[in-house]
Amino acid sequence: MKLKYLALSVCAAAFISCNSDKPVAADPTLKNILGDKFLVGVAINSEQAAGRDTSAVDVVRRHFNSIVAENCMKSEVIHPEEDRYDFSLADEFVQFGEDNGMFIIGHCLVWHSQLSPWFCVDADGKNVSPEVLKERLKSHIHTIVGRYKGRIKGWDVVNEAIEGDGSYRRSKFYEILGEEYIPLAFQYAHEADPEAELYYNDYGMHEPGRRDAVVRMVNSLKGKGLRIDAVGMQGHMGLDYPSIGEYETSLLAFASTGAKVMITEWDMSALPTVNRGANIADKVAFEKALNPYPEALPDSVSNLWNARMKSFMELFIKHSDVITRVTAWGVSDSDSWKNDWPVPGRREYPLLFDRNYQPKPFLKEILGPKKAVFDEFTYTVAPRDTDKATGQVTTPGTLNPVLPGCYPDPSICRVGNDYYMVNSSFAFYPGVPIWHSTDLTNWEQLGYVLNRPSQLPMYDGLRISGGIYAPDIKYNPHNGLFYLITTAVDGGGNFFVTTDDPKKGNWSDPTFLPEVGGIDPGFLFDEDGKAYIVNNDAPAGKPEYDGHRAIWIREFDWKNGCTVGKQKMIIDGGVDKTQHPSWIEGPHLYHINGTYYLMAAEGGTGPNHSEVIFTSASPFGPFKPCAINPILTQRGLPGDRPNPVTCVGHADLVETPDGDWYAVFLGVRPYRDGHDVMGRETFMLPVTWKENQPIILPEGDVITYTADRSYGPAPLWTANGLAKEAFFIRTPLVPCYSINSKGQLEMTASSTDLNQKRQPAAIGRWISNWTFTAQTGLDFVPQQPKDFAGIICFHDDNCYIRFGKTLDKDGKPVMLLETYSHGRLCSQANSPLTRTDEKVYLKVEGDNAVNYTFSYSTSPKGGWTQVGDPVSADLISTQTAGGFTGTMVGIYATGGYQN
């Protein structure tokens, strides 16, 4: 079956395409591109409703299919005196909406601000009685809603009633009526127009206190049988708040009530947050600090603003199943309420269209996406005469690494004759590669455990070496479920997921365990039906030295999916605390022949890495170091030994049906002076038992590996979808590609580049050997020098190589090779092309000296032209770049969408 994803920009594919044989719309609009997902709304002022602001009216008519009243329906305007209404401006607003076929929203019936002064007080300025306020409220709502019955389709009934801590705002309504005024307002609105949709609207909805209170309020209204159709999440944002994760958490919480969600009042300040910066007593400095860009935004700020707006729009599209409207709070920057506040002359840039009524770059990316079309991308490791024969190997642990490439921190379990193994995946998506074998020798990747965005929301700013650390997979025979527990470092903490069959690829959403601190949690499902979680965390009390950590245990109630009881520290420091052992981590607990074995890594994940083991008669200890420790290490060996494997540790044990034991563990294959490009890989060795303890490798013995096992050519995708090993950089809010009927991958060139710590349009796989070839064909028509599509070798956001087609500064087509290290451009080479629209074929080859050569051809039959000198892999090695990952090779496309 053909697999096709719809992305933010891919939504426009029906209107715009880089292929000349497809229809092209002359004037794509927001409502045409996004209208099948949600209403695209805008707040309009009275000048616009009256048709006098003709430039704004043109934008509204072209791009929006919903309008909301900015001010004309607030009580101080529409109901200035108790016995007098002024409907003149509201009538113009409604008529404008009807004349232009808009979905009309009324804003707002009950709000403490811009409230008519008479509304809640008597002639002496004292609060009226509850009975009087109820009657005034009822009359106000019945009169306004009744006037526009059947014409206004939805109402913001109550606005901003909840404080950030979850308490009710002490408004006049609350002072007099308490919480009762909210259900009364919804009751009165429904009485006035039973067909109208009714909404609650508030700001700061990412704050946990307000979020939880609004959820309770909505459920309470529903429990009373009152109508509430949606929660309005005001989108007043800044460059540093809210986070996408916080906003998404609230969005899903509101949707869980059964109400829909509306993004209302959306704008994003590009200026410093109010009350930060200069001393307010220094008026000149204060005003300058709050109005830093009186002429225009600098590119750096504009790029950040557009990237955040794009990410939030993608979030809205991702959740278009529950979001019914997205409304900008104003047409253009000149209309924003944020101008001239809090100081006169302050110039803001918060809306979708600039002061010239032109779409901002992130909107241009929606309206006019640029496409790169890739032929099959293949990755190949060719056999060489010096390779060891691998076809007849049947003994586990003979071929190493058993999983070449960046597959660290392995964990393994067996059920019957089926073995399952998982690895860390850091900030790449999908998360946690999972493998299956029946013989411990031949491993097939089943895909990924965390293969839905809801399981792995890794968004903007997450470092590449953050994300998912050291997953542990275990089988619980008492309920027939497989459990995987891991840590989302920088992204939520420890959690577990479950499935009844890993081959189905359908694991549950995460259950987080906030009470379990630290990293590297692991399960033991014991013979008696009890279960335990062990994990690394800080020691009890103040750490006594750098790297002083501990292993803790607590009981896990698998029937209810939660921990029970208190945690207990069972290892303090390591085998011999007097020697200041560092970074005891990666614990696994086993119950073997009546003895509890606790195995853990010690010494850090560098060259001093090792694996150690302890025993106890009880899972809660006391645990004593075994007689022989470490049970695995390569530290202390000669640095000049041939073909070294270093940094070994983070092991896990598994028993075969015949009673043999094996260990899987991570190791590194440096190629020169500690440099490596594959990162930490998975190795396997048989385990021997001596003095009632397991030993993976006697200290001093050398681990060997089988170099350059042939592989491929393996495609990164087929007509049926991406290969099982393919992954993205962080979690895409919406996918950036589709696969056409010819098996080509059509990628939307994202404005997000590789160095922005976001989600660039990039798809790849791990490099698994020093020698390899990766190649593809590319159809791409760059329109400006920022347009670029081709191949990448990516270590992290600061260290990478990119090779592809673009335009030079004179607008001429070139093949460009660039290398980046620590965020700086290190080298650049290019080769001219004859035509902007000619198809090119790209290739990167790694040789035994671990240099990468980049070439291109304009013919599918070859005739390769090398661009620049070979690039040393040192540039993107872990030794140079740091971090925990290997090298991703794949495809990438970026585009410039500036005005």
Q: What is the pLDDT of residues 698-716, one digit of tens each?
A: 999 999 888 668 888 999 9
Is the per-residue pLDDT at 279 higher than 70? no
pLDDT at 272: 78
One-letter amino acid of 638 = P
Is the per-residue pLDDT at 556 higher than 90? yes
Reported as a pLDDT band with limits 50, 70 and 90, residue 9 is: very low
What average pLDDT does range 843-850 have in this prediction?
94
Radius of gyration of the chain (CA): 31
Reported as a pLDDT band with limits 50, 70 and 90, residue 284 is: low
Tokens in use for 58?
Answer: 């043109």
Nearest to 883, CA basis, from 801, 806, 811, 799: 799
Q: DSSP secondary structure string, 365-383? A: HHHS-EEEEE---EEEE--
Whole-number Å distance between alpha carbons of 484 and 770 = 32
- The tens digit of pLDDT for each residue in 414-443 reads 999 999 999 999 999 999 999 999 999 999
- Determine if residue 332 is left, alpha or beta; phi over 0 gives left, psi from -120 to 50 gives alpha, anything else beta: beta
Count of C-beta atoms within a 10 Å radius of residue 410: 29
pLDDT at 21: 39
- The tens digit of pLDDT for each residue in 14-51 reads 333 333 334 444 579 999 999 999 999 999 999 999 99
Reported as a pLDDT band with limits 50, 70 and 90, residue 286 is: low
Contact 770, 863 (CB under 8 A): no
Reported as a pLDDT band with limits 50, 70 and 90, residue 521 is: very high
pLDDT at 862: 81
Count of C-beta atoms within a 10 Å radius of residue 877: 25
Is the per-residue pLDDT at 333 higher than 90? yes
pLDDT at 794: 98
> How many residues can be counted in the chain?
899
Cα of first residue to Cα of last residue in the chain, in angstroms, is 40
Reported as a pLDDT band with limits 50, 70 and 90, residue 8 is: very low
265 in active site: yes
Contact 471, 449 (CB under 8 A): yes
Whole-number Å distance between alpha carbons of 713 and 846 = 15
pLDDT at 706: 80
Is the per-residue pLDDT at 731 higher than 70? yes
What average pLDDT does range 50-78 have in this prediction?
97
- The tens digit of pLDDT for each residue in 483-500 reads 999 999 987 899 999 999
Reported as a pLDDT band with limits 50, 70 and 90, residue 282 is: low
One-letter amino acid of 434 = I
What average pLDDT does range 79-107 have in this prediction?
97
What average pLDDT does range 722-735 have in this prediction?
95
Q: DSSP secondary structure string, 773-805? A: EEEEEEEE---STT-EEEEEEESSSSSEEEEEE
What average pLDDT does range 373-389 have in this prediction?
78
Whole-number Å distance between alpha carbons of 837 and 835 = 5
Mean pLDDT (the chain) is 93
Whole-number Å distance between alpha carbons of 85 and 79 = 4
Reported as a pLDDT band with limits 50, 70 and 90, residue 280 is: very low
What average pLDDT does range 653-679 have in this prediction?
96
Contact 336, 715 (CB under 8 A): no
Contact 350, 338 (CB under 8 A): yes
pLDDT at 393: 62
Reported as a pLDDT band with limits 50, 70 and 90, residue 392 is: low
Reported as a pLDDT band with limits 50, 70 and 90, residue 62 is: very high
pLDDT at 278: 37
- The tens digit of pLDDT for each residue in 108-149 reads 999 999 999 999 999 999 999 999 999 999 999 999 999 999
Is the per-residue pLDDT at 295 higher than 70? yes
* Cβ-proximal residues to 310 (8 Å cutoff; 6+ apart), any chain: 8, 362, 365, 751, 752
- The tens digit of pLDDT for each residue in 746-763 reads 999 999 999 999 999 999
Is the per-residue pLDDT at 456 higher than 50? yes
Whole-number Å distance between alpha carbons of 305 and 293 = 14
For the entire predicted model, the pTM comes to 0.90
Is the per-residue pLDDT at 274 higher than 80? no
- Determine if residue 115 is left, alpha or beta; phi over 0 gives left, psi from -120 to 50 gives alpha, anything else beta: beta
Catalytic residue among 70, 160, 585, 602: 160
Q: Enumerate the β-bridge partners of residue 780.
A: 372
- The tens digit of pLDDT for each residue in 754-811 reads 999 999 999 999 999 999 999 999 999 999 999 999 999 999 999 999 999 999 999 9
Is the per-residue pLDDT at 348 higher than 50? yes
Reported as a pLDDT band with limits 50, 70 and 90, residue 391 is: low
pLDDT at 327: 98
pLDDT at 13: 38
Tokens in use for 35?
Answer: 């209208």
Whole-number Å distance between alpha carbons of 360 and 751 = 12
One-letter amino acid of 130 = P
**Beta strands per DSSP E along 620-710:** 624-625, 632-633, 646-655, 661-668, 681-690, 693-695
Catalytic residue among 207, 265, 555, 611: 265
Nearest to 315, CA basis, from 735, 752, 733, 736: 733
Is the per-residue pLDDT at 1 higher than 60? no
Q: Listing from the earlier edge strand, what are the strands of the sheet with 444-450?
A: 411-415, 418-422, 431-437, 444-450
